[in-house]
Amino acid sequence: MRKNNLRWLWLAAFALAGSVFAAERSEAPAAPRSVGGQWSVLEGKTLGVGADALHIQVGWPGVSVDYLHGIADRVDLGARFSFNYGYEGYPRISGVPGLKLQGELKLALLDSGKFSLGLNFEPGMLFYFFRGSTTIGFALPVGLGFNLALSDPLHLGFSFDVPLWITFGALSSVTVPLLFGVGLEYLIDRNLALTFKIKLGPAINSSAAINSGTDLFFTSQIGIALKL
């Protein structure tokens, strides 16, 4: 049953991306929005057709590197590699090394230039190396983001994320966080930006090893984004 649900989730996400891509291709060609202050790596906004960006972030629970490519004016595809030293943003479990490999899909559902609303889907695998054992799992994060251009170089973002993950091994559990976030992005020049994000909220998990029930999760990272 779980495999069937995951399969339908993947199919729905890519069907939505395909429909947006087809709609963009059917419209008259437009100049990329990735000029001046119009490109952004914050949730809620895409890069623009043909644009590429590298985004490096550091903080809690670790370090991540994102590569994004605009395959359509409102669709970005990419990948993320993360090295974590905290268990998925769970404050009580630190000093546990972990790796995550994820794909990224960003859809701009609405974009007026001044503000935009988007959907993010970042499925992948996670590996955490506890003493004497390894925990392996699936990450299925889904998020909704709102991006507001306060000025040409400054963007403000708000997000609601459900970074659900399922793990097996030393820490078998199903965890469903509900995170509310805020982010800032400042474009130093046409191709370089500084970013800051913080996300906080409750999470429901099924593992007795981390006090099954509801607990608090948070992430906080600063970063640098480079338009390639």
C-alpha 208/C-alpha 205 separation (Å) is: 9
C-alpha 205/C-alpha 172 separation (Å) is: 10
Provide CATH code, domain 2-227: 2.40.128
Distance of alpha carbon 16 from the chain centroid = 17
Q: What angle do CA 98, 100, 102 make, to 5 degrees?
A: 175
C-alpha 184/C-alpha 202 separation (Å) is: 22
Query: Which burial class, exposed, middle or buried, applies to 62 when counting CB atoms under 10 A from its CB (0-12, 13-18, 19+)?
Result: buried
For the cut 90, the answer to whether the pLDDT of residue 181 exceeds it is yes
Mind listing the pLDDT tens digit for each residue in 89-125? 888 777 889 999 999 999 999 988 788 999 999 999 9
C-alpha 206/C-alpha 132 separation (Å) is: 22
| Range 10-16 contact pairs with CB under 8 angstroms and sequence separation of 24 or more | 10/123, 13/105, 13/121, 13/123, 14/105, 16/107, 16/119
Per-residue model confidence (pLDDT) at position 89: 87
Q: Which amino acid, residue 156?
A: L
Domain range list for the chain? 2-227
The residue length of the chain stands at 228
Mind listing the pLDDT tens digit for each residue in 39-61? 889 888 888 889 999 999 999 99
Mean pLDDT computed over 158-184? 91
Distance of alpha carbon 180 from the chain centroid = 13
For the cut 80, the answer to whether the pLDDT of residue 31 exceeds it is no
CA torsion 211→128→105→146, rounded to 10°?
40
